[in-house]
A and B are shown apart, each in its own frame.
Chain A
Amino acid sequence: MSETPLLVIKNLHASVDGKPILRGLDLTVNRGEIHALMGPNGSGKSTLSNVICGHPNYEVTEGEIHFMGQNITEMEPDERAKLGIFLAFQYPTSIPGVTLANFLLASVKAIRGADNVKLLPFRKELVAQMQELGINQDFAKRYVNEGFSGGEKKRCEILQMAMLKPALAILDETDSGLDIDALRIVSEGVNRLTTPEMGVLVITHYQRLLNHIKPHKVHVLVHGRIVQSGGPEIALQLEENGYDELLKAHGLEPAGV
């Protein structure tokens, strides 16, 4: 077994429009591990996921991101996707006029190689995955995220994960917007899709998701830095006490407007 960690982030600094958001972030995710990332609104969780995936609007000013031993800090988003990085977006964007089926076919082809994708097996697989996730088959013909409810968007993000079979899945608040049943279905889906070779980074505000998707490690992001790491108990403590103490300890204003 190779001991190379799946994802290694070293001293990552990133800014948007010249404004620093991430300020020296370190994180290592090994294969087979599920990590949860928590932290107050605006602390930089989505920024981190965007930066890992290579969003062009975020500039890495210092530090490095390594994936499977390869420095990916300067790579294009599509190259990273092909290496096996996947992000389930907090706010999935809509693509008018492009059907979910066509979009999925194009991305599956891009990831697996066009020659490795045959239409009939693809369709079968898609139908099966939609069933597993409780997504009506009509959605295949609908335009990507166009007019989808919040929960429907989140389910479709997991559907994409199911089809693309990434090595690293980042789930950015996939639980928000899901009703109680959907939360269970989606979490079961994620668990089903998580193989021992995979790493998962779950971003969430709530313990309830972590009841379904059990993390090995929990990190707390505050003001662009991971200020606390540990086991699942951290999430429970946060649920109990909120972020106030952590914020104070780092010289920041507590929440509340």
Chain B
Amino acid sequence: MSSDAALLEEIGQDYKYGFHDNDEKYVYKSSKGLTREIVETISKQKNEPQWMLERRLEALEIFNSKPMPEWGSDLSEIDFSDIHYFMKANEGVEKSWDDVPEYIKKTFDRLGIPEAERKFLAGVSAQYDSEVVYHSIREDLEKLGVIFLDMDSGLKEYPEIVQKYFGTIIPSIDNKFAALNTAVWSGGSFIVVPAGVKVEIPLQAYFRINAQNMGQFERTLIIAQPGSSVHYIEGCTAPIYASDSLHSAVVELIAEEGSTIRYTTIQNWSNNVFNLVTKRAYAYKNATVEWIDGNLGSKITMKYPAVHLMEEGARGEVLSIAYAGKGQHQDAGAKMVHLAPNTASTVLSKSISRDGGRTSYRGLVKVAPDAHNVRVNVRCDALLLDDKSRSDTYPYMEIDNKDVQVGHEATVSKIGDEQLFYLMSRGLSENDAIAMIVNGFFEPFIKELPMEYAVELNRLIQLEMEGSIG
């Protein structure tokens, strides 16, 4: 492809050959580190409008000027100069399956994931076989007037919508990693659901893959117009093999009057990944936004899905689980910002730590002075599977209105000897018994998932308990 050749020229001498496969094909990568030139190249490569380039460059400056966050997890290990910010596979060229770490292949085997899906999950393939499924779903959606594209195509085909909403929910100035994402974003989903349309099937990133490789800095924007509803599912329960060690996504949701957005994420990053994601939704009059968020894997995750309840009757919900094994820190939580009267929010966070892993719940509930009759319910349960592991809760409340009902409950428990013995006395091995207790603990989350995801998550937990992953 000539544009790839051009890209190669522009990036200069510094490119290096990427992964080799047996056929001596290769992909191109930008040189390491983040410079103005790289940002310009990304934008040019994508043939973006000038305004997007400007947004990227502005974001780059913000990124450079903002200090690393000092709260939360220890991020000092991230070396921004040691990361490739842009990679593009040559058409028909794939990174070799041989490059995928053995333990990930083994996991795929044990999960029984089909070849095509594995290759995608491992970041090897930008293509996959289920074109037929993909197309029939696409046709149904088109009939309804639903726009469901990868973000790059969204920008090409609907530049005026993207320009109107991009970065309005999460501006670059919001935080260092939102700025980073804005500067170098690539991929992600762009969804617009027209007024009154209820999308019955969950939209899955899985069906969108053929267009773009997902990248480490994906950018997602979902707009649900009045009275519409949509359920979006991203990620998968198999480990995502990331060649780079930083994943920093931005997800913006806009739920207009009377609409419902449910956003389900189940991610299982390989355990060298820093997973720093900003997710925020605006819920307008009588709209509902639900974040269903499952965090497994990664080295460090910092993720606090937020709902701003902008107008009366809006509802926000965060239902999340986190699992931290050896060397992992899951710092996850939720933010509910009540800006209008008669709004309600619910947070249920469940976390498990094992083998010295650490989970933290970090939550913010904010109620504006004129937001009366607000209901808030926060509950976090932590389960420790051994004495080496750790869990903390950092609930912040900024409540400036008296007419507010706030429920907050936090529990930390250790896996019970009696429960283990009970299950083992019925023939379950220790690992199966632990997995069953863990599955039960996560049940309020799992039962919200579509069947196939629930099944996969169950199996994944089983594997985690056998210690066969990470």
Q: Is the CB of B429 within 8 A of A78?
A: yes
* B439 proximity list for chain A (CB < 8 A): 97-98
- Contact status A110-B421, CB under 8 Å: no
Within 8 A of A (CB), among B415-469: 416-419, 421-430, 432-433, 436-437, 439-444
**Could you tell me if B421 and A56 are in contact, using CB atoms closer than 8 angstroms?**
yes
**Distance A112 CA – B266 CA, assembled complex (angstroms):** 34
Chain B residues closer than 8 Å to A92, beta-carbon distance? 422
Question: Could you tell me if B437 and A78 are in contact, using CB atoms closer than 8 angstroms?
Answer: no
B436 touching A98 by the CB < 8 A rule?
Answer: yes
Q: Which bucket holds chain A's interface residue count?
A: 20 to 34
Contact assessment for B418 and A110 in the assembled complex, using a CB-CB cutoff below 8 Å: no
- Among the listed A56, A82, A93, A110, which residue makes an inter-chain contact with B419, where contact means beta carbons less than 8 Å apart? A93
Q: Is the interface of B mostly helix, strand, loop or mixed?
A: helix
From known contacts A53-B425, A81-B424, A81-B425, infer whether A106 and B440 are also in contact, taking CB-CB under 8 Å. Answer: no
> Taking CB as reference atom, which chain B residue is nearest A92?
B422
State A128–B429 Cα separation when bound (angstroms).
27
Give, as a whole number of angstroms, the nearest-CB distance from B191 to chain A: 32
CB-defined contacts of B429 to chain A, threshold 8 Å: 78, 110
- Asked if A95 and B428 make an inter-chain contact with CB atoms under 8 angstroms apart, the answer reads no
A103 within 8 A of B: yes
Count of B residues near A, CB < 8 Å? Answer: 24
Residues of A within 8 A of B437 (CB): 95, 98
Q: How far is the CA of A97 from the CA of B439 in the complex (A)?
A: 7
Q: Does A55 sit at the interface, judged by CB under 8 A? A: yes
Contact at B424–A95, with CB atoms within 8 Å?
A: no
Is the Cβ of A81 less than 8 Å from the Cβ of B422? no
CA distance A128 to B72 in the complex (A): 54
A81 with B442: CB separation less than 8 A: no
Nearest-neighbour CB distance to chain B for A126, whole angstroms, equals 14
Task: Find chain B residues with CB under 8 A from A55 CB.
Answer: 421
Q: Taking the complex as formed, is A111 at the interface, i.e. its CB lies under 8 A from any CB of chain B?
A: yes
- Nearest chain B CB to A1 CB, angstrom units: 27
Query: 13 extra interchain contacts, Cβ-Cβ under 8 A, other than A76-B430, A78-B424, A89-B422?
Result: A53-B425, A56-B417, A77-B424, A81-B427, A82-B427, A93-B422, A95-B419, A97-B439, A97-B441, A98-B440, A98-B443, A107-B423, A110-B429
Q: List 21 A-B contacts (CB under 8 A).
A: A54-B425, A55-B421, A56-B417, A57-B417, A77-B424, A78-B430, A80-B425, A93-B416, A95-B423, A95-B440, A96-B440, A96-B441, A96-B443, A97-B439, A98-B439, A98-B443, A106-B432, A107-B423, A110-B428, A111-B426, A111-B427
B contacts, CB < 8 Å to A: 416-419, 421-430, 432-433, 436-437, 439-444
